[in-house]
Amino acid sequence: MNLKHYIIFREVAKTENFTRTAENLFLTQSAISHAMKELESKVNTPLFERMHKSVKLTKSGELLLKEILPLLEEMERLESRLGELKDATPLTISSCITFAQIWLPHCIQKFQKEYHTKVQVEINSAALALKALREGKVDVAFIEGALPSQAFLTTPILSYEIGAYTSFDAHIPHELSLKELLAHRLLLRERGSAVRETFESVVTLAGYQLFAEWVSVDSQTLKEAAKMGLGIAILPKVLVLQELKEKSLAEVKITGLNMSNPITMVMNKNKKMTPILEAFCTNISHDILL
């Protein structure tokens, strides 16, 4: 017995006629008759009273119809929603703070104008993002700094400049050597962050030691401290453009030194590329210029 028998049974109950049922379901009349005989054999009781040109449900037929109607209606509702499953399944993203603060909201907003897909975002370090990718907990990650191993599919999408910023009113020269910079109070991101690692690498390669006055996981905290004249913050320039424009912060050039970090889109090589994920990644590539 299969679902088709019950669909035919419902139609016969509606039309009270095998011929009309056959026409409505695009089947032969013999196929309708055969299916109803099989169904009656299965339930071991007559379901129809067969008349000259029509059929009527028996009491058993009425009971069966009452049982199957909710099930058939639910199946049809489910079938009508199957095409929406790709939109109903959320897209999961892990992102570094810098990309999430500046670029990701715009990318998601533009994507969702075309695709009505839920997007779940987690802000994580590169290590946690790659772990989530390996475990299949996220679809795509955006990490800053050093590229991951070849176990992942990587697409460089942009890079950002890292600079030194202090209060516009601070009595600090607009350009310092690295040695002179390190003599000032430094406001730094936490160890393990991409910005901190890049700056530490520069300091270590130059043979100096690094001491931080402030350490924070929040770039906004460092900006506010710098604006109050509490030190020099080492931050992505893209995060302080407004403060530079408003002249609440000023840039301190480091002689002979230019620092930057790449941001890379990363996926698990073993994860199947769904149409929605492919569309999102394509939009990212088109929207963001290297």
Contact 123, 95 (CB under 8 A): yes
Alpha-carbon dihedral angle through residues 142, 144, 149, 153, given to the nearest 10 degrees: 30
pLDDT given for residue 235 in this prediction: 96
Going residue by residue through the chain, which has 290 residues, state the pLDDT in tens, using 9 for 90 and above. 578 999 999 999 999 999 999 999 999 999 999 999 999 999 999 999 988 888 999 999 999 999 999 888 888 877 766 665 555 578 999 999 889 988 999 999 998 888 888 899 999 888 888 889 888 899 999 999 877 666 788 889 999 999 999 999 988 999 999 999 999 999 999 998 889 999 999 999 999 999 999 999 999 999 999 999 999 999 999 999 999 999 999 999 999 999 999 999 999 888 888 888 888 888 887 777 44
Non-local CB neighbours of 131 within 8 Å, separated by 6+ positions? none
Contact 229, 240 (CB under 8 A): no
- How many C-beta atoms lie closer than 10 Å to residue 69's C-beta? 13
The radius of gyration of the chain's CA atoms, rounded to the nearest angstrom, is 33
Non-local CB neighbours of 226 within 8 Å, separated by 6+ positions? 165, 166, 167, 187, 232, 233, 249
CA-based end-to-end distance of the chain: 60
- CA 46, distance to chain mean position in Å, is 55
pLDDT given for residue 81 in this prediction: 64
pLDDT given for residue 290 in this prediction: 44
Give CA–CA dist 168/140, Å, rounded: 39
